[in-house]
Amino acid sequence: MNEPDWLSAVPRLSIGHLPTPFEPLDRLSRELGGPRIWVKRDDCTGLATGGNKTRKLEYLLADARLKGATDIITFGAVQSNHARQTAMAAARLGFPCHLILTEQVSWKNRSYATSGNVLIDRIAGAEVMIVPPDAAAEATSALTSRLTEQGRSPYLIPAGGSNATGAFGYVRAAWELLGDCERLGLQLRHVVHASSSAGTQSGLIYGFSRLGREVRVTGVNVYHDKPATLETRIGAIISTLAERHGAIAPPRIHVTDRYRGKAYGLPTDAGLDAIRMFARFEGLLFDPVYSGKAAAAMIDLISVGEFSGEDDVVLIHTGGQASLSVYDNAFTS
């Protein structure tokens, strides 16, 4: 597929390993007895084990450069995949990076705050501040003031890189995925992925619609206590994308809340089983927080006939394997 002018016109820094691989999972598909499963390998985007945030950072950091930023500030939970990718992208581009990480996950592991993503953050040279959730706003204000007083110009990236600027990375991903399917002669009808901060899902929904294709995007809620909160955030980002890049028909937003478990960041039995299954049938690693719960959703949705009548279905692997070491006790308990 030729890249449309409205897509190529948006400023972007090429820092990801794109396009990512698009692979069939034939052994697992036969085992499950449903449609052929394809995986879009956004765990292969680069930046220290990759992940979906890299696509967003290509646009966010381009915007930071255009605005003359000197420093990058972003946010996330302690084991944030977004923070790790931001730290690495900032290092590659020469931006000092400041991470405000909140203690919002009750997972008990002696290395939770020192290993996994946090270890990579520090290796990348990021300034890491770990604070209680109710202290994040104060920490951000103090950091912004300190940098400004030093004559610096900080650029704030929201959690997950999920605003309309970052979400444009998944508008482009929609175009890339349609091209993958076109080359293979596949009819793309259904995409499944882990959904949390809304940027990935909103970008995909807007992108498919703007490109004139009807594709159902099912977001597997892994974060929000109320899925309606996620749906509202997705709708708001799509509205901003439409204002900036062209109107689309009112979108249908599909979110499932059946696979989140007790809370964000806490593994589920189904998620752990899915991680083992994808590893043992396909040699793929997922994580217990995001992609593993999406993998569990894919297995269950096939088992209940959600995709009956479809030949192919796509799972977007959003990454997250860097956090596996701090969940080792989930696999041994």
Looking at the annotation, which residues are catalytic?
Answer: 80
What is the Cα–Cα distance from 64 to 157, expressed in whole angstroms? 9
Say which residues have a Cβ less than 8 Å from residue 33's Cβ, sequence separation at least 6: 302
Structure tokens at 185: 């002669």
What is the Cα–Cα distance from 9 to 11, expressed in whole angstroms? 6
Q: Residue 211's closest CA among 186, 246, 235?
A: 246
